[in-house]
């Protein structure tokens, strides 16, 4: 009878070797560090080989163990892919895809457009998860992530999706109060600001001081007005007519198309683009690639606006 290899111990070994940390491996496997250490000892007893050595508060595979880490990682990936294929059969060929995105972007841009993807891919069960800051985003175990930062989490690769433009926008009623005169609106209307929240994901936010300087608008009170720490709240305030917002194109495009907001003046690019992050390892499932292609097609109007 063949002696069975302890699979849980193999998973623990691979996670520790990849992270050079028992604590990080435990977090990834959703168990305690003590449990991971126990699995490592179990595997060492099984193999009669020492697997790790500690240096400067980090753990590293021994030379003997290092020779096999890559093969074990590939084998575990193959097992995961096989199990997912079985799950697809179980679910009557319905494919599952989980997507994470900033809360403001999801509610104001992504959700209004998801119907197009669902219509084109009716056999995909899509799950959307939103986050308010980078820490929350990195805790989401999603298949694909939309992020306003370029550095991907472990196991993910990042590439630019779109660079936004920032445009002064306001409600139609507010514009009419100033006879639709862009110069009067920018000099006299109340301003709406979005502040960078601690741990926030907003990146390089549109800023009224820079905008006024860029376009030569003399307004000394440009730092005053209504302030928010989330872009979605600021857009809602602009829709209610309380002021003019330097709105990011992805977040205000739908309201501009519907005529609920009007563009007041010229736009300028935001320095921090959005990125799409996907698993680094090859995926046998085409669903993720189809959604990524759809995203790239959906943002083309915004890309053209930012380059204008």
Question: Model confidence over 292-301: pLDDT tens digits?
Answer: 999 999 988 7
**Residue with more model confidence, 42 or 56:** 42
Whether 246 and 150 have beta carbons less than 8 Å apart is answered as no
* Closest listed residue to residue 161, CA positions, set 26, 296, 261, 53: 296
Q: How far is CA 93 from CA 78, 119, 204, 289, in A?
A: 20, 17, 42, 17
Q: Identify the helix (H) or strand (E) that includes residue 146.
A: strand 144-147
Q: What is the pLDDT of residue 55?
A: 86
Question: Residue 307: what pLDDT?
Answer: 47
What pLDDT sits at residue 3? 66
State yes or no: pLDDT of 79 exceeds 90.
no
165-269: CATH architecture = 3-Layer(aba) Sandwich (3.40)
Contact 100, 142 (CB under 8 A): yes
Please tell me the distance from the alpha carbon of residue 22 to that of residue 28, in angstroms, as a whole number.
10
Domain boundaries, the chain: 7-89, 93-160+273-307, 165-269
Q: What is the pLDDT of residue 127?
A: 93
Q: Do domains 7-89 and 93-160+273-307 have the same CATH topology?
A: no
The whole-angstrom separation of Cα 298 and Cα 23 is: 40
The number of angstroms, rounded, from the C-alpha of 83 to the middle of its chain's C-alpha atoms is 26
Does residue 285 have a pLDDT over 70?
no
Give the Cβ contact number of residue 40 at 10 Å: 20
Q: What would the pLDDT profile of 47-77 be if each residue is shown by its tens digit?
A: 888 989 888 878 898 988 888 888 998 988 8
Mean pLDDT of the chain: 85
- The two beta strands, 244-248 and 144-147, are unpaired
Q: Is 245 helix (H, G, I), strand (E, B) or coil?
A: strand
282 or 156: which leads in pLDDT: 156
Report the DSSP pairing between strands 144-147 and 95-102: parallel
Domain 93-160+273-307: which CATH number of 3.40.50.1980, 3.40.50.620, 3.40.190.10, 3.40.1390.30: 3.40.190.10
Dihedral, CA of residue 202, residue 204, residue 209 and residue 210, to nearest 10 = -150
Q: State how far the Cα of 70 lies from the Cα of 52, in Å rounded to an integer.
A: 15
Q: Can you tell me the mean pLDDT for 185-210?
A: 79
HEC-encoded secondary structure of 29-60: HCCCHHHHHHHHHHHHHHHCCCCEEEECCEEE
Q: For the domain 7-89, what is the CATH code?
A: 1.10.10.10
* Residue pair 192/243 in contact by the 8 Å Cβ criterion: yes
Helix (H, G, I), strand (E, B) or coil at 264: coil
């Amino acid at each position: 009878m063949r002696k069975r290899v302890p699979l849980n111990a193999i998973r623990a070994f691979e996670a520790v070797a990849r992270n050079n940390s028992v604590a990080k491996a435990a977090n990834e496997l959703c168990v305690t560090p003590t449990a991971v250490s126990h699995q490592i000892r179990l595997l060492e007893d099984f193999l009669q080989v020492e697997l790790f050595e500690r240096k400067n508060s980090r753990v590293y595979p021994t030379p003997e163990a290092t020779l096999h880490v890559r093969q074990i990682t590939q084998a575990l990936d193959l097992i995961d892919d096989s199990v997912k294929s079985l799950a697809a059969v179980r679910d009557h060929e319905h494919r599952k895809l989980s997507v994470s995105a900033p809360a403001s972007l999801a509610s104001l841009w992504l959700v209004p457009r998801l119907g197009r993807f669902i219509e084109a891919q009716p056999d995909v069960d899509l799950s959307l998860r939103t986050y308010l800051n980078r820490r929350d985003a990195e805790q989401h175990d999603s298949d694909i992530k939309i992020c306003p930062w370029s550095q991907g989490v472990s196991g993910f690769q990042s590439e630019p999706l779109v660079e936004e433009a920032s445009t002064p926008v306001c409600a139609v009623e507010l514009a009419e109060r100033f006879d639709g005169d862009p110069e009067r609106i920018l000099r006299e209307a109340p301003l709406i600001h979005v502040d960078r929240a601690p741990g926030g994901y907003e990146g390089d936010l549109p800023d009224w001081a820079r905008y006024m300087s860029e376009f030569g608008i003399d307004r000394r009170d440009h730092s005053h007005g209504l302030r928010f720490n989330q872009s979605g709240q600021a857009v809602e305030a602009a829709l209610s007519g309380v002021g003019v917002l330097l709105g990011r194109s992805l977040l205000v495009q739908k309201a501009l198309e519907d005529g609920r907001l009007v563009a007041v003046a010229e736009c300028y690019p935001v320095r921090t683009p959005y990125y799409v992050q996907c698993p680094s390892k090859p995926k046998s499932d085409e669903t993720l690639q189809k959604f990524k292609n759809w995203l790239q097609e959906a943002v083309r109007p915004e890309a053209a606006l930012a380059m204008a």
